[in-house]
Amino acid sequence: MTSGDGVMETQLSIQIEDGGSMPTSPLQFSFETISAKAACDLNARWHSRFPYIHWSNVVRNKAYVCYAAKFEGEYFAVAIWSSPIARKLDASKILELRRMAISSSCPRNTASRMISYMRKDIRKRFPQIEKLISYQDTEVHQGTIYKASGWSMVETKTKETDWSRTRGRAKPQSSAVKVRWEFSF
């Protein structure tokens, strides 16, 4: 047995002890839609910045869909889409990626693969949707998944600027600079 084989056996035994095998490629995931409640629960488990989102804040939108990435019966990533939060945006033609959270057990490029799948499924599921949007929190993310998935950076807001001027809002969850990314069909 070579030392490389020994390392592989050690890694495999660690994975099994942690509760099962772990995906080694994003191509191993299957994707499915899940309930808003389940999506919010998974988001609470993995989201780096905003773990809390109540399911009722998802289902009261004109349109919404939640996805999960699954491998061997276990969930490893989740995404929550809904009509845009900002009222100035056309909710009949736009969907917003509200949350995307990925387990630390996921292989590289899981987010890009999941975005690719979701984009195609949304196109079929909501043919009236012309654009997808998402907001990047610049204190914790660099926008890599959007760049890799063919999205365009369209707007940056500073800490002093509020995204929604059309209604009163609760205190922002983050005061970091935000970047809006868009993907047009």
| Averaged pLDDT for residues 138-157 | 87
| Averaged pLDDT for residues 14-22 | 52
The DSSP element (H or E) to which 57 belongs, if any, is helix 56-59
pLDDT for 17 equals 39
| CA 4 and chain centroid, separation | 35
pLDDT tens column, 96-132: 999 999 999 999 999 999 999 999 999 999 999 999 9
In a domain, 15, yes or no: no
Domain with 49, as residue range(s), is 22-184
Q: Is 74 or 48 the better-scoring residue by pLDDT?
A: 74
The mean pLDDT value of the chain amounts to 83
Q: CATH no. for residue 117?
A: 3.40.630.30
Query: How far is CA 163 from each of CA 53, 65, 178, rounded to the nearest angstrom?
Result: 18, 23, 9
pLDDT for 166 equals 54
Q: Which residue is it, tokens 């999506």? A: 39
| Domains: count for the chain | 1
In a domain, 92, yes or no: yes
